């Protein structure tokens, strides 16, 4: 897949307050026993990335032509960050096969090129995780372990080199069931994203497919802004409209056109 990206970043549609961001069954963060804690990931273990297809992670090579386009996207996001106190960005594909996971990985990498920024990439697609494979990492414990059993997130986050980003893998894939989406409405996820943004300057979230309404809406509500990914010649108009309907009322920042 060509990783060339064009961006159309429009003014944020409004910053939801904390109660709105945690509506529809998501528990309030302050009810968590760990609320108010500030985690530190300074000593997270370093893991060497070994991408199977290095061309997909164009931002590992700052000289790559497509890296400049991600740089423009990062610059626009940094302006929004100053204006709207934004830290948590969700990158969602309008349907399957848009390359949204590749976009989220490259966005995290280019944001981390600012040495003053600490950037965390979260693989929140618990049924079909792909980011570990993209970076050439073996399957390992991750977010699903934290949500199911409470395993400390400090033991799950690692630092990726080269790249300079922190990474929270998805963990063992969840088996899809009628109520599997309920895990995304857990107290632990809401608390996790709040505590992480106390330490990280940016948290980039790769969410469940927008085809899974319950799960994707739950994660989107916990983020400060959403970038929709449309793949040229692949995304159908009805899939794009479904995504807009699903995310209605949430702050959509703009569209990334993946060529």
Domain ranges within the chain, ordered by starting residue: 5-170+183-258
pLDDT (tens digit, 9 = 90+) per residue, 212-242?
A: 777 888 999 999 999 999 887 778 888 888 8
Strand partners, 165: 160
Strand residue runs (E) in the chain: 5-9, 46-48, 88-93, 119-123, 158-161, 165-168, 202-206, 225-231, 252-258
Helix (H) or strand (E) run with residue 21 in it: helix 18-21
> From the CB of residue 77, how many other CB atoms can be counted at a distance below 10 Å?
22
Q: How many residues does the chain have?
A: 259
H or E segment at 132?
A: helix 131-134
Q: Which of 25-34, 63-72, 106-115, 163-172 has the lowest mean pLDDT?
A: 25-34
Which residues are within 8 A (CB) of 91 and not within 5 positions of it... i.e. 6 or more apart? 100, 103, 104, 107, 204, 205, 206, 207, 226, 227, 229, 256
Element (H, E) at 219: helix 213-220
Q: Which ranges of 85-121 does DSSP label H, i.e. alpha helix?
A: 100-111
Report the candidate in 194, 180, 188 with the shortest Cα–Cα distance to residue 143.
188
SS3 at position 1: coil
For residue 153, give the nearest of 126, 183, 120, 181 by alpha carbon.
120
Distance, in Å, from the CA atom of 146 to the CA atom of 153, rounded to the nearest integer, reads 6
Superfamily of domain 5-170+183-258: P-loop containing nucleotide triphosphate hydrolases (3.40.50.300)
Write down the mean pLDDT value for the chain: 81
Report the C-alpha gap between 123 and 117 in whole angstroms. 19
State residue 15's pLDDT score: 34
Yes or no: say if 14 and 226 are a contact pair by the CB < 8 Å rule: no
Read off the pLDDT of residues 168-203 as tens digits, 9 standing for 90 and up: 999 999 887 656 678 888 889 988 888 777 889 999
> Mind listing the pLDDT tens digit for each residue in 56-96?
898 887 777 778 889 999 999 988 887 778 899 999 988 78
Cβ contacts of 24 within 8 Å, gap of 6 or more: 185, 217, 218, 221
């Amino acid at each position: 897949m060509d990783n060339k990206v064009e961006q159309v970043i429009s003014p944020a549609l409004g910053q939801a307050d904390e109660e709105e961001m945690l509506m529809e069954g998501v528990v309030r963060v302050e009810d968590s026993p760990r609320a108010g804690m500030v985690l530190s990931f300074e000593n997270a273990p370093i893991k060497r990335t070994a991408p199977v297809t290095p061309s997909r992670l164009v931002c590992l090579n700052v000289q790559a032509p497509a890296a400049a386009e991600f740089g423009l996207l990062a610059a626009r996001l940094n302006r929004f960050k100053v204006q709207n106190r934004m830290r948590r960005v969700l990158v969602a594909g309008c349907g399957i096969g848009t390359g949204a996971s590749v976009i989220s990985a490259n966005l995290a990498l280019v944001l981390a090129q600012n040495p003053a920024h600490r950037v965390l990439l979260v693989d929140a697609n618990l049924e079909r995780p792909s980011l570990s494979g993209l970076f050439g990492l073996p399957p390992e414990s991750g977010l699903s372990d934290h949500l199911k059993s409470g395993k400390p997130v400090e033991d799950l986050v690692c630092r990726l080199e080269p790249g300079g980003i922190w990474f929270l893998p998805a963990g063992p894939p969840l088996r899809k069931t009628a109520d599997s989406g309920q895990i995304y409405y857990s107290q632990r996820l809401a608390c996790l994203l709040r505590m992480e943004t106390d330490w990280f300057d940016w948290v980039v979230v790769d969410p469940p497919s927008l085809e899974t309404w319950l799960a994707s809406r739950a994660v989107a509500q916990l983020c400060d802004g959403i970038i929709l990914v449309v793949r040229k010649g692949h995304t159908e108009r009805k899939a794009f409209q479904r995504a807009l309907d699903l995310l209605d009322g949430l702050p959509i920042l703009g569209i990334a056109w993946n060529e």
